[in-house]
Amino acid sequence: MRAYVARRLLLLIPTLIGMSILTFGVSNLTPGDPAFAFASRLASRPATPDEVAEARKDLGLEGGLVPRYFRWAGRALQGDLGISFSTRLPVRPELVERARFTLQLAVPAALLSLLIAIPVGIVSAVRRNRLTDQVLRVVTLAGASVPSFWLALLLIVVLAVKWGLVPSAGRGGAESYLLPVLTLAMAPAAVLARFTRSAVLETLSSDYVVTARAKGAREAVVVGRHALRNALVPLVTAMGTSLGALIGGAAVVETVFVWPGIGRLLVEAILQRDYPVIAGIVLYSGAVFAVISLVVDLLYAVIDPRIRLVAER
């Protein structure tokens, strides 16, 4: 098992290298000249060619793309993600601070989605093709299909504007977390519920479940101990993907609710063509997905002994 973990950790190295190349290339090949935008902001007017040239030198944009990538990658390995073009402050401390605010939404949203999804998926599977199942399938399909910005605006209008129960935006007391957490949790909960239903349905028709029922085991024991446990492998995959998306930053939700997280910072950086911030956020999000993917692979071996045996070979 240790050898398997070591191999998976080694595979992260080329993954992160490829991710850094794509991150730097895409962020630096987007339309627009950050030097012109930076110089124009300083001058409060369209910048002259001389001012643009000075800004390009000041921002470190001189030279070809390849030498600039190696300079950026070398600093990134040391934890230095460069200087923001717009604020002229180091990128890494800003990312760390914004990531903390994103986690304050992502963790409760992930827990809420699990608390909703697993019971809904189990009930839908147990009541297959009955009225309860049909209603829950429609609800989960709608939850997975509704755009997050539309749901956010609907919650603001109903809960904040009409009823005045919670603040409509901003980060304040505990009540300010309700709307963004609900919005973030809705789509993952719907997707996970559908995954849970499919996985539990597949295991309910397995021989060991039929045998357990034949021995007189209670339905709760059959579903909880046998069906759900063996349905965890595909469910864990869906959980990992959803959690990675939440931690990576929900740009739409954070922008709508004026939440100072990673997602909102990314939107601001794109509008200002702030390449170091864009590259840092994308690299951070990719690293989060890579680490969560590794954890999911390791959880497979914990959940299913058969996978553990293959990993140890």
Amino acid code (one letter) for 69: Y
- 108 contacts 177 by C-beta, under 8 angstroms: yes
Tokens linked to 246: 């939440």
Contact, 252 vs 266, CB < 8 A?
A: no
| Tens digit of each residue's pLDDT (9 = 90 or more) over 73-102 | 888 888 888 888 888 888 899 998 998 998
pLDDT of residue 304: 64
Q: What is the radius of gyration, based on Cα positions, of the chain?
A: 24
**Residue 149 pLDDT greater than 90, yes or no:** no
pLDDT score recorded for residue 179: 92
Q: In this structure, how many other beta carbons lie within 10 angstroms of the beta carbon of residue 180?
A: 26
State pLDDT tens for residues 111-129: 898 889 888 988 888 888 8
Write down the pLDDT at residue 144: 85
Using a 10 angstrom Cβ sphere, with 0-12 exposed, 13-18 middle and 19 or more buried, the burial of residue 139 is middle
In tens, the pLDDT along 225-235 reads 666 776 777 77
Answer yes or no: is pLDDT of 297 > 60: yes
| 149-171: average pLDDT | 88
Helix and strand tally (H, E) in the chain?
Answer: 16, 0
The predicted pLDDT at position 74 comes to 86
* Average pLDDT along the chain: 81
pLDDT for the residue numbered 136: 92
pLDDT of residue 309: 45
DSSP class of 90: B
Long-range contacts (CB closer than 8 Å, 24 or more residues apart) made by 266-272: 268/86, 269/84, 269/86, 270/30, 272/37, 272/85, 272/86
Taken in order 294, 115, 262, 32, the sign of the CA dihedral is positive
Long-range CB pairs of 215-224, under 8 A, 24+ apart, other chains included:
219/126, 223/122, 223/126
- In angstroms, how far is the first alpha carbon of the chain from the final one? 9
- The residue extents of the domains of the chain are 101-271
Q: Which of 2-6, 45-49, 251-255 has the lowest mean pLDDT?
A: 2-6
Confidence of residue 166 (pLDDT cuts 50, 70, 90): confident
**Is 143 or 60 the better-scoring residue by pLDDT?**
143
Q: For 227-285, how does the pLDDT look when each residue is reduced to its tens digit (9 = 90+)?
A: 677 677 777 777 777 777 777 657 888 888 989 888 889 888 888 878 888 888 888 88
CATH class of 101-271: mainly alpha
Q: Residue 224 — pLDDT band, cuts 50, 70, 90?
A: low
pTM of the model: 0.80
Q: What is the pLDDT of residue 62?
A: 75
Alpha-carbon distance values, 286 to 19, 48, 146, 263 (Å) = 7, 37, 25, 14
Close Cβ partners of 144 (under 8 Å, ≥ 6 residues apart): 187, 190, 191, 194
Q: Is the pLDDT of residue 52 over 60?
A: yes
